[in-house]
A and B are shown apart, each in its own frame.
Chain A
């Protein structure tokens, strides 16, 4: 088997908790974080439900110790909180002691501020500080500042809903190739009117709690979140006698090349991504104990992903569930928070139920795990699929 990359830290903030411990409690207690939207004034208030983080920007700024003249959009605030938790969890005192990089990801970046001040910029010089925090690399710059990463390699990936999974994948390549000793990887996305209205025009937002893999699913709930992992080389792990949380064993990215937003009905892209990841991990489908599915609860995704899972696993589909019913679909951050949930599943030998499922889908016979299940887990696969046909798979394992 090929060697996995050590994961030594993780951090997350989402609608079901402000840190890793709180997220795990919600997952185990089956507490959803889905509600009517409160922080954004939108005409769609009564027509949608979202996974909103229960902290204002002021709260987040205070936690980070920022002064009032800061120009952090919400994505950067959330990202900084989660990245700092990950670095602390990895017991890193001096971030520049080793060659440390940052690969973040986001789809909206500073859009929350741009949409508030779009015309106001021309009248009020005070809000102009947010002009330069619109472009999405800015949130990564700010997270690097918060972590103290200097004179190093940082970059941002934006491949829609597979972004954070791709950041993790690229981070693993950088460690494996010896370009970096340590890399903080993940993603962040806040809710914005831009995305709410965008998904609304595509008619894929549910007016109630989302129901992944259910025959009567009505669409997704949008959510906001940030999550980061710390990946470290074997040399650093050995030199510092680091506790390894899990290993990233495999990864794969493929393109559906079918449609700008829709997935192909046969799930070709997702099939290829899972097969590549299994190949890199050098394991067989039978070795996967649990799949944390992308499972957005749109008609298109769940059908396409379900078929892809059948393509790869045939008659022996492992336990699978989507955690989107807990958190909403957190877009670029989704692959990050689900990486954290996959590692927590491994650590606790606990499979989370696919909430809100009632009716079997007609197109196939596979059924998500609907009840929490305790089971020895060694290897977990996580999917993230996005616009632009972008399909990504990560495989996490207890074994190196």
Chain B
């Protein structure tokens, strides 16, 4: 079985993360309950005429994928695997509101066509003329991990050599409004630095795209090795520690060998206790890191977590802004990532220095 490497990372998020020459050097302090991405100059990558027709999610996805290819030094890949939790909500909302407002008349196909969940994957294939395997996973907060698991299987078995893997989610106006109604979004603005002290329900909603080239060939741009990713549709709090330990054991690791744990705390008082189980339990003495105060919450935000883990391993430095505690580590060899959303769709991922 071949090892699987992250040969490039490209992350468009609520921070200026798309530029890999910096690493959270300057951080934007948000103070809102819904935050947007810092956009790269899309025009540099997409012809203006095409860009005008594209909703933000498609633009973010296409540009992140191009950045990932660039960094890996590739023109094309063998396969494209995309994750998205909500799909192309902007086009869906556009088509649906017109449909309702005009009683099914005067509709045009563009927004319907682009509302399909695999639009981003299809558009990337079109842009780079990739005729290979092209899948889109749409499964809540494990959409990105599903894509990683699929890619990893194919690379381990040497079915493919380079696979573009990513996650993308965009904010839609109606989606934001209705999720506010049911308190999935915080009702008040929250300062980034105060996120975990908010003591309120809901999350700070956001958007973003992160793409990487995963490969079974290590190269000098490689960030890390993906040792394992597993997801669980349900996981009772009491089973969390055992599941984490079993996951490590399957990877022949002792708890003490985990150098950094990246936690998906989003400041939702109803669900952050899942993270507390680990951070005040078996991983109490491990360097703990969080990121959703920088990125906000969306279904494929764990792509930001992967971006962060990849950078920690490659750069061997942990920015102060992401630290939850202070531990001395000489070398970062092993990073564990744990994420869940609203108590469902839990994931553990293990990245290693390569």
Contacts and interface: CB of A to CB of B under 8 A. Distances in A.
Nearest to A179: B153
Contact of A388 (B118, B179, B231): B118
Interface of A: 42-44, 102, 107, 111, 114-115, 118-119, 121-122, 128, 131-132, 135-138, 140-141, 144, 149-160, 166, 170, 173-174, 177, 179, 193-194, 197-198, 200-202, 253-261, 268-269, 272, 386-390
Given A43-B105, A158-B118, A158-B137, 17 more contacts: A43-B103, A102-B233, A118-B100, A122-B181, A135-B138, A137-B138, A153-B230, A154-B233, A158-B136, A197-B95, A197-B99, A253-B135, A254-B134, A259-B126, A260-B114, A388-B121, A390-B134
B123 interface: yes
A187 to B, nearest CB: 12
Contact of B344 (A119, A141, A259): A141
Contacts of A261: 109, 113
Nearest to A106: B138
Interface in B141-200: 142-143, 146, 149-150, 153-154, 156-157, 174, 177-179, 181-182, 184
A131 B178 contact: yes
A197 to B, nearest CB: 5
Contact of B134 (A42, A201, A388): A388
A136 B138 contact: yes
B233 A257 contact: no
A170 B150 contact: yes
A158 B120 CA distance: 12
Given A43-B103, A153-B230, A260-B123, A137 B140 contact: yes
Interface of B: 80, 85-87, 92, 95-97, 99-100, 103-105, 107-109, 112-119, 121-123, 125-126, 129-140, 142-143, 146, 149-150, 153-154, 156-157, 174, 177-179, 181-182, 184, 230-235, 239, 243, 299, 344-345
29 contacts: A42-B104, A43-B103, A43-B104, A115-B99, A128-B178, A131-B178, A131-B182, A135-B138, A135-B299, A137-B138, A141-B344, A144-B233, A151-B235, A153-B230, A155-B139, A155-B142, A155-B143, A157-B138, A158-B87, A160-B116, A160-B117, A194-B92, A194-B112, A254-B133, A255-B122, A255-B125, A386-B118, A387-B116, A389-B122
B259 to A, nearest CB: 27
A136 B138 CA distance: 7
Nearest to A389: B122
B22 to A, nearest CB: 33
Contacts of A135: 85-87, 138, 140, 299
A12 B112 CA distance: 28
B185 to A, nearest CB: 11
B116 A114 contact: no
Given A166-B135, A389-B126, A197 B104 contact: yes
A141 B345 CA distance: 9
Which 9 pairs show the lowest CB-CB distances between chains A and B?
A388-B122, A198-B112, A158-B117, A201-B109, A137-B139, A137-B140, A155-B146, A388-B118, A255-B134
Nearest to B140: A137
Contacts of B138: 135-137, 156-158
Given A115-B96, A166-B135, A193-B99, A152 B232 contact: yes
Contacts of B92: 194
Contacts of A253: 133-135
B170 to A, nearest CB: 13
Given A121-B181, A155-B139, A159-B135, A260 B96 contact: no
A159 B134 contact: yes
Nearest to B184: A132
